[in-house]
Structure 1
Amino acid sequence: MWALGNYPAVVDEVIAPLGPILVEASGVRAGERVLDVAAGSGNVALPAAAAGADVLATDLTPELLEVGRKQADRAGVRLEWQEADAEALPLADASFDAVLSCVGVMFAPHHQRTADELVRVCRPGGRIGLINWTPEGFIGQLFATMKPYAPPPPPGASPPPLWGSEDHVRTLLGDAVVDVQARRQALPVCRFSSGEELRDFFKAVYGPTIAVFRSLEGDAERTAALDAAIADLARRFTVGAGGSFEMEWEYLLLTALRR
């Protein structure tokens, strides 16, 4: 799914600021061993490496890792890239000073399995840092809007936006962590001029949206209904005055120390 469309365009044109925000909030320092889980094209991995950390970026989608490699080469940033499943990381226990993920691990279907892996590979005293879309924010509501039109999820899968609930993440990490710091923040988004432009952008580049619309091929009525619903949702999340289409996309920023 994540190889559909052009997810790096979403990163570059809309959510690029989130990576540096997570790197700073997690206190990444030069010389530390840092893991970016479900890294995509490296929204967190590249700024962490630029800060002097020894970074490994992992993702299940090799096409995204290849984009990240090229971006790192252009930026003159050195780091490692490895294809890996967030639910079964092929990495040693307690091998990283910081384990980070920015709107990445939330899309692994089995939440507890994924959280257990984040904890396992983080050394005692190390940090876990996460940014995830909240259920109530725009992306969380986008998934809620698409759900009635989407094929059934895999057996045992949990909704991705639950990772944007502080209580849910605290439960997943449990007593393996201490000093949990969580706050909701908003990403300003000024990329779009209308709900229809946003919808068409997501239909062209965002894998989950592309997959849902492909499942509706041949059903013009339901396709039109989802078209209208996404454009209307985008309009409801505008915050700009005087006809501006400025939006705010809410996310949960959570950091914790590994026991």
Structure 2
Amino acid sequence: MATPHNEAEPGDYAETVLMPGDPLRAKYIAETFLDDARQVNGVRNCLGYTGTYKGVPVSTQASGMGIPSLSIYTHELASVYGVKNIIRVGSCGGVGKDVKLRDIILGEGSTTDSAVIENTFQPGIHYAPIADFELLDTAYHKAKELGISTKVGDVYAADRFYNDNVDMERLRDYGVLGIEMESAGLYLLGKQLGFRALSILTVSDMIFGEGSTTSEERERSFNDMITLALETAIAVK
């Protein structure tokens, strides 16, 4: 049952997985939020854990950075381990006009320059990857219940982290709220493989203006985002 990237056994993953990019954030989620958490994957140090949250089984599995890396882990979770819901819990750069440092963004859709998306379809088709509506709707209303402020809209999934050719001002003008590197791939595979997908993101630095968080803060302090994802996870059926 193990794959080239995952040593977990059948049944080791819950039906819902929280997916940070950072393996240390996966470890932090397991140790801080889950009861009876146990490590189920350590291949390449891309850590995965399963435990319970308020009595409901939940897993967390790191994806690494970028659509190609995330696509490996999501594909195997859905097609080999039977995972039904994957909620990305990641960081992003703030782009939107009203976005501030540490804001939480629910990614309704994901604009991208990724060749992975482009090469999935015949020339001339520009697929628009979008979140699962039930997960999005649940997260939005859970945030209201918890008093967690969120912004809902488009995020930009970039193929390259260092790229001076992207017109950020135009993306902002067209309503993009944040920039990261994974959501479009997650949403594409969700539709292809039949699992529900959502990105919940915390703004870790500002593209326009000043403000940033440290690597330790990104690993260990985005608790509102994690709580919202967990509450969403146990609310969906």
State the TM bucket, normalised to the shorter chain: 0.3 to 0.5
Of Structure 1 and Structure 2, which has the larger fraction of its residues in helix?
Answer: 1
Of Structure 1 and Structure 2, which has the larger fraction of its residues in strand?
Answer: 2
